[in-house]
Amino acid sequence: MGGSCFGNIFKISTFGESHGEALGVVIDGLPAGLRIDREVIRQEMARRRPGQSLLTTSRQEDDQVEILSGILDDISTGTPMAMLIRNTSQRSGDYRELAEVFRPGHADYGYYTKYGIRDYRGGGRSSGRETCARVAAGAVAKMLLHSLTGTNIRAWAGEIAGIKAETFNPEEIEKNPARSPDKEAAGKMAQAIATARAAGDSVGGVVCCKVTNVPPGWGEPVFDKLDAKLAYAMLSLGGVKGISFGDGFAAAGMLGSENNDAMLPGGRFATNHAGGILGGISTGEEILFSVAVKPTPSISREQSTIGTDGNSRQIAITGRHDPCIIPRIIPVIEAMTAIVLADFALMQRCAKIK
């Protein structure tokens, strides 16, 4: 039972609800001797926090992280590292009218049928706010990866509301609220989000992620393949409905001679159709994957649903919600990628004697 723990050696356990006192995470398996940069954690949390721009929810949370254990003089001690993020801007009254009605597109009905009770205040554990704990843990995982291998993780908005990034300038990603590498497309994406919001609606999109400096050999056959665990991590995020690696679904229409990645002397590859993972094990090439994210289900347009009594209802959801979660899920996707890779980096040390 459970479901709030993730990982084998680098293991995280998150807790807390959207409208509770706080959220947090405990990291177990973090090796001793890693310098913890609190500013890096603060910066990662700032990228995910609400209220960043007109494209996101107006809820204001500082998302300051309190480190409760596991470090001494900013050096990890090898014991569990606990981090707490207090909620300071709850408006639970916005949700009282939802206590006896299920919101379309949400986890409300599933939680109710599973447990016989649900937290109607923003969805409780099913709220996107739960991901702030993951970002805190991901910041630590990024530090560990940088220390071990220099691994770098970068995600961006590849598509929002059907508008695709046609060019790639990594310096542009953090300069626009859509987090797109294409400045021109970013403006169109922002306009599409604003238009949907004005109509009481929302939009979805695709997040792309690239990981560099991952050594060959990471991944555990057969059930803990690297791509399988990355998919597991991404699909554990609310709103994520699909993931593809390398050529993804396009590979289904290719010939084997087109899709195979020919090897070069020195263990490199001429192409990277596989997205840096073959047989569930990293090849040493860039890891490339894309994640499909559905439109935010909390919209103010009237929709049909049912109440806890089973009778039909009409509902228009009020409160503070993102008209598009793409910009804010990007640092979460990076965090979960880092957590997966940190775990595999430590597991790889157990794979062979020399």
| Total residue count of the chain as it appears in this document | 354
pLDDT at 233: 98
pLDDT (0 to 100) of residue 139: 98
* pLDDT value of position 1: 52
pLDDT of residue 152: 98
Q: In this structure, what is the dihedral angle of CA atoms 323, 117, 1, 3, given to the nearest 10 degrees?
A: 10
**The predicted structure's pLDDT at residue 38:** 98
What integer pLDDT is reported at residue 98 of this predicted model?
81
Tokens found for residue 89? 């801007």
Low pLDDT (below 50) residues in the chain: none
- 82 in Cβ contact with 26 (< 8 Å): yes
Residue burial 97-136, b: 16+ Cβ < 10 Å; e: rest: ebeebbbbbbbbeebeeeeeebbbbbbbbbbbbbbbbbbb
Show the domains of the chain with their CATH numbers.
Answer: 5-348 (3.60.150.10)
36 DSSP assignment: -
Alpha helix positions (H), 149-296? 183-198, 226-235, 256-259
Structure confidence at residue 81 (pLDDT): 98
Q: What is the pTM of this model?
A: 0.95
pLDDT in tens, 115-130: 998 888 878 899 999 9
Instruction: Look at strands 205-212 and 287-293 and give their pairing.
Output: antiparallel
Single-letter amino acid code for the residue at 257: S
- Strand partners for 152: 212
